[in-house]
A and B are shown apart, each in its own frame.
Chain A
Amino acid sequence: MAGSTRIATMLTVLITTPLVVAGVVAAWPGSSGPTCWEQKWLNTTVVCDGACSAGYSVCPGRVLCMAGNVNKKADPVITGPFPCQWWTGPGITGTCPNCVGGSLTQPATETVNIPHQECVDACP
């Protein structure tokens, strides 16, 4: 009888301890984890040909779903074409590939084949 009680107590401790620890960690301020995933462009480059004034594209090297410095690994990374941003019009300065300025123009004229994620449950 005493033996079965001891086994039951040990089982209770073994089961409840991790749950309690997990609950405390989850409730601890600042450790609630990311709640809002944003698309981030990493290692962007400028794609241009000759004069910047003819327009230029800003293309990401990688696109990730991130919250702060945390990458959301649950969203799959797909390697494939991804649209760049096309900047054109007056107001562009610099020398290719350091073009700056202009106005964001739709639609994009350039795509890059890069690893990227779609934030499935992005910020509301």
Chain B
Amino acid sequence: MPARSAHAGVLALLTFASAAPRLHAQSISDAHRAALDRIEAMYAAVGRVSIRATRVHDSRTEAVYELDVAADGTFIELYPAATAPEKKRSEHAGSLRAIIAFDGTTLRQGTLTVYDEYPMADYLVQVKSCAQWAKCPWPVVPLLCRRAAAAPDASIRAEGDASVLESRAAGIMLGWRDDGAMTRLRLGDPAVSFLDVTFRDFAPGASSVPPLPRLARVETSHRSRDGTMLTTTEEYAIEHLALLGPEGAGPVMFDAKALNLNRRDRATGDVVSPDGTKLYNEKEVSAVLDAAEGRGRERPWLLALVVATAIAAAWAGWRRLRQGA
């Protein structure tokens, strides 16, 4: 997909999001509007960010996420396989357990080295909020602010020493301190499925960038199949790998070759390398193995048949010899 198309899709989303507040935000006072503008400006300076999130307080160290998020909501989230001491025999260090990425026009999701493509220019609108942003929302905060403020039920309130912007309709709740530090983010519908993230242990901000946290407590809740609400809570150490600033804040583009990933055509089953070479067809591979395993199961019967025939022939020959005698 050409980068220009991706830009166009994302730009359309941004235009929608930035134009709307002036139309709908009657519930936000001028004072609150000024505070919101200040937060938007602070986080616009972040531009684009790369982080590594590692699950803490847990002996299982396989939960490491590498995440690249841009201001327009494009992202790549990588789930690296377990590191050497904990790896299973079927995995290997340096490989990926899974990937999910959105470049403005296409959502890509995959397991190990194979991914599927889902053309989805309106992904950000469809899902309203995105789980990937939750662990490092800084570049997307201006977009989230505009979305929440654009909703008819948007409100800003004081909560302890923080200000809270909330819109149930937009599925967004943001909390921040006076110094701009983001203390809380909730994404999703609290009645169905949501992430509630609290941030702490803030590093002092640079001149134009607000203080950024080193710890994130992520509460994931979703309604189970029997209707009860299931909640899991995990804490992550956040390591900021890169802050690119507004100058380097282009969309996150997907590079299959750099990630050593192969594309699967869901219709045909063809698995194709980044340079376009067909590696194999998963349906054909499975069919061949199914047939081979079928033959394997037939072999004992064939052997029994051969032995039975041989015994019958020997018995018939023995009878003929006796009759001849």
Contact = CB atoms under 8 A, between A and B. Distances in A.
B109 A101 contact: yes
Nearest to A59: B111
Contacts of A64: 285, 289
A42 interface: yes
Given A50-B225, A104-B79, A90 B195 contact: yes
A57 to B, nearest CB: 11
Interface in A16-40: 38-40
B285 A71 contact: yes
Interface size class of A (residues with CB under 8 A): 35 or more
B79 A91 contact: no
Contacts of A91: 127, 129-132
Given A55-B222, A71-B289, A43 B192 contact: no
B55 to A, nearest CB: 9
Nearest to A90: B188
Contacts of A54: 192-193, 222-225
B225 A49 contact: yes
A106 B60 contact: yes
Interface stretch (B88-96, B136-144, B302-310): B88-96
Contacts of B118: 100
B97 interface: yes
A103 interface: yes
B102 to A, nearest CB: 9
Contacts of B225: 49-50, 54
Interface string B262-304: 0000000100000000011011011001000100000000000
Contact of B107 (A40, A100, A115): A100
**Which secondary structure dominates where chain A touches chain B?**
strand
Nearest to B223: A54
Nearest to A37: B92
Contacts of B293: 77, 115
Interface in B67-121: 77, 79, 88-95, 97-98, 100, 107, 109, 111-114, 118, 120
Given A101-B123, A123-B95, A39 B192 contact: no
B112 A39 contact: yes
Contacts of B90: 39, 63, 65, 117-119, 122
A101 B286 CA distance: 27
A54 B77 CA distance: 21
A31 B130 CA distance: 46
A92 B102 CA distance: 13
A102 interface: yes
Interface string A101-112: 111111000000
Contact of A90 (B98, B193, B279, B283): B193
A61 interface: yes
Contacts of A124: 92-93
Interface string A60-94: 11111110110100000100000001001111110
Given A61-B286, A104-B79, A88 B280 contact: no
Contact of B127 (A41, A44, A93, A117): A93
B248 to A, nearest CB: 25
Closest 10 CB pairs of A and B: A90-B188, A69-B280, A103-B131, A89-B131, A91-B131, A42-B282, A91-B130, A122-B92, A123-B92, A118-B90
26 contacts: A43-B269, A43-B283, A55-B193, A62-B289, A68-B280, A69-B280, A85-B97, A88-B222, A89-B134, A89-B195, A89-B222, A90-B130, A90-B187, A91-B129, A93-B120, A100-B107, A100-B109, A100-B118, A102-B131, A104-B98, A104-B100, A106-B60, A117-B90, A119-B89, A119-B90, A124-B92
Given A39-B91, A44-B111, 7 more contacts: A38-B113, A54-B193, A54-B222, A55-B222, A90-B188, A105-B232, A124-B92
Interface of A: 38-44, 49-51, 53-55, 58, 60-66, 68-69, 71, 77, 85, 88-93, 100-106, 115, 117-120, 122-124
